[in-house]
Structure 1
Amino acid sequence: MNYIELNIELEKVEKELSTLPTGKLLVYPNGNWYRWFYLNQSKRKYISKDNISFASSLARKEYLLLKRNVILAKINAINKADIPIQAAEEKLLEFVQDKRYQALLKPFYSKIEDAELLSWQNSPFNSNTKYAEQLTFQCPSGNVVRSKSEVFIDMALASNAIPYRYECELSLDNLTFYPDFTIMHPITRKLIYWEHLGMMDNDEYARQAFQKLQTYQKHNIIPGENLILTFESKNNLFSYTNAQLALEMMNLKDFSLAL
């Protein structure tokens, strides 16, 4: 995003914040569930399950405050101010991964209303069963993925109401692949694959990635057409903004943006 776009986004966040209640949400474990409390001017009040919408609005407020910090960090970076963008995005990621808030944030994700798209996304499919122990990163959407970067991609897709499958089986030349994300375009209904190449400073990893991309190209899976490629190394980390920009470049952004 450029300076003008960031300020427009900041204005949207500020406008929504002005409509949300004052005070803060406190969440405490309670068996397999959580107890919610409303803290306002040092007074604490219990929030019942019947009033979950109020608890959700307070969770939404906390999310927007963290998102505002990310936007401000980016604006300050453009202005050459020394504000760490990565630290702001890490706090945002920690919040959306916190199980205490995930059920409360879910109503704010854009809903896929098209029956065909929803049916495709929710239909059973063959997925990658290898290294299941690496599926440790919980997404606000409910999916569990293998890395923080994939959480950002999951968030970007879910918040834009784009139907997708995580690690769905793809067979080419008697070889089986599991693209990180398989997307169905909301308008054209064409399948788009998203591969996040997260260890490009590892020679063997890069070699295998190149071989896979050669096979993809042989079968007309072409970057910029029906393949999204994002990259990462130890010195060049991937962010939520990178995920949103990748969608924007493929004209896949803002179908129904909520988060």
Structure 2
Amino acid sequence: MIYDQIKREVDILSRKYDKLQQQLLKMPEGELLCAKNGDYTKWYLHNDKTLSYISKRENKLAEKLALKKYYEYQMQELEKQIHILEKCAAALKKVNMKSEYLLREESPYWKLLKIHFEKYEKEKISWMNGQYKCNPSHPENLIHKTMQGHLVRSKSEVIIANTLYMNQIPYRYENQLEVKGVILYPDFTILHPKTNNLCYWEHFGMMENETYRENAYNKLKLYGQNGIIPSINLITTFETKSHPIDSGKIQQIVKEKFVL
């Protein structure tokens, strides 16, 4: 899991780097140099071997050159961070994660170990493993496997499912829910381990898409109209391509909501 987190962080940093690179293409040629003269600062444009004074009337040019220098420094820092993280990921990839394999259902050790990792009451285990109506739409998109062997639609849902599982929180994936004649399929229906109340978790993963965003808002409105309220019995998480899900935040939500 740490390896996956590092790879996601590398992806985030790489996208930031690419954006900065695009911004630099819009910047003027040359480098800004600043020199203190008493209480005043003089600006100079260093271009090839020439050095020319930038007057206060040309402050817009100075601002752009200062921003250019900031972007360049950021890119240098990002390059170093990406290099370090990639080395860590390469080292972690060589680690044989035998412990994770032991917790998979296909492992011959699973039956012996599961009592230590499935400390639910029998009713909760029965509820979690029982038959229920799940989302029949686009089964071909169920391509990502969780630690418990469930197939889900995205890597982000894998993170949520695995976090619930490792914290011994019983859940169902895309369990049918009917509200005022409307059929919904919350990403996760969770049986609270302490209160036995049902809680729902919706993860909205493409919030940069306008149509998807509008559908998400309408869905949240429908939930609210039927007594399913964010922070009470509905957990909501959001992400975009530039702001992907934070696994640490998911762990924090699960701990605060169901464990502590």
Q: TM-score, normalised by structure 2?
A: 0.59
Given residue 230 of structure 1, which amino acid in structure 2 is its aligned partner? T
Corresponding residue for residue 143 of structure 2 = 136
Instruction: Report the equivalent of 2:29.
Output: none
Alignment of 1:98-113 (within 5 A): 102=104, 103-104=106-107, 107=113, 110-113=117-120
> What's the offset of the Cα at 1:247?
1.1
- What do you get for the CA RMSD once the two structures are aligned? 3.4
1:114 aligned to 2:121?
yes
Structure-1 separation of matches of 2:119 and 2:159: 19
Q: Deviations over 1:147-166 (max 9, x none)?
A: 00010011001001111000
Higher relative contact order (CA 8 A, sep 6+): 1
Q: Give per-residue Cα distances to partners, 1:15-57, cap 9 Å, x unaligned.
A: xxxxxxxxxxxxxxxxxxxxxxxxxxxxxxxxxxxxxxxxxxx
Segments of 4+ moved more than 4 angstroms: 98-101
- Residue 253 (str. 1) matches residue 255 (str. 2): no
Mapped partners of 1:210, 1:100: distance in 2:
41
Q: 1:130 to 1:84 in 2, by over 3 A?
A: same
Unaligned runs of 5+ in 1: 1-62, 74-79, 255-259
Whole-angstrom CA distance in 2 between matches of 1:161 and 1:170? 23
Distance 1:123 1:133 in 2: 23
Identify the residue that residue 62 of structure 2 maps to in structure 1. Answer: none
Sort the Cα spacing of 1:213 and 1:114 in 2 relative to 1 into closer, same or farther, 3 A: same
C-alpha spacing 1:236/1:173, structure 2 compared with 1 (3 Å): same
2:183 aligns with 176
1:242 aligns with 2:249: yes
Letter in 1 for 2:194: I
In the comparison of the two structures, how many residue pairs are matched?
176
Q: CA 1:173 to 1:245, structure 2 compared with 1: closer, same or farther past 3 Å?
A: same
- 3-state SS of 2:199 partner: strand
Q: Which amino acid letter does the alignment assign opposite residue 253 of structure 1? A: V
More moved, 145-154 vs 238-247 = 238-247
Q: Distance in 1 between matches of 2:102 and 2:130?
A: 28
Shift of 1:140: 1.3
Runs of 5+ consecutive residues of structure 2 not aligned to the other structure: 10-77
Q: Within 5 Å, which residues of 2 pair with 1:1-150?
A: 66=2, 82=81, 83-84=84-85, 102=104, 103-104=106-107, 107=113, 110-150=117-157
Residues 100 and 133 of structure 1: CA distance in aligned 2, closer, same or farther (over 3 Å): farther
Equivalent position SS for 1:128:
coil
Instruction: Give the equivalent residue in structure 2 for 1:213.
Output: 220
Deviation at 1:249, TM superposition (A): 3.5
**Corresponding residue number in structure 1 for 2:160:** 153
Larger radius of gyration: 2
Looking at structure 1, the residues matched to 240 and 129 of structure 2 have their Cα atoms a distance apart, in angstroms, of 33
**In 2, are the aligned partners of 1:230 and 1:246 still within 8 Å (CA)?**
no
Q: Residue 84 of structure 1: CA displacement?
A: 4.0
Deviation at 1:214, TM superposition (A): 0.4
Deviations 1:38-80 (A, max 9, x none): xxxxxxxxxxxxxxxxxxxxxxxxx7xx57x96xx9xxxxxx9
- How far has the Cα of 1:99 moved from its partner? 8.1
Asked whether 1:192 is paired with 2:199, we answer yes
Identity %, equivalent residues: 35
- State the AA in 2 paired with 1:221: I
Q: How far apart in 2 are the matches of 1:208 and 1:219?
A: 17
* Structure-2 separation of matches of 1:99 and 1:159: 14
Alpha-carbon distance in 2 for matches of 1:101, 1:127? 25
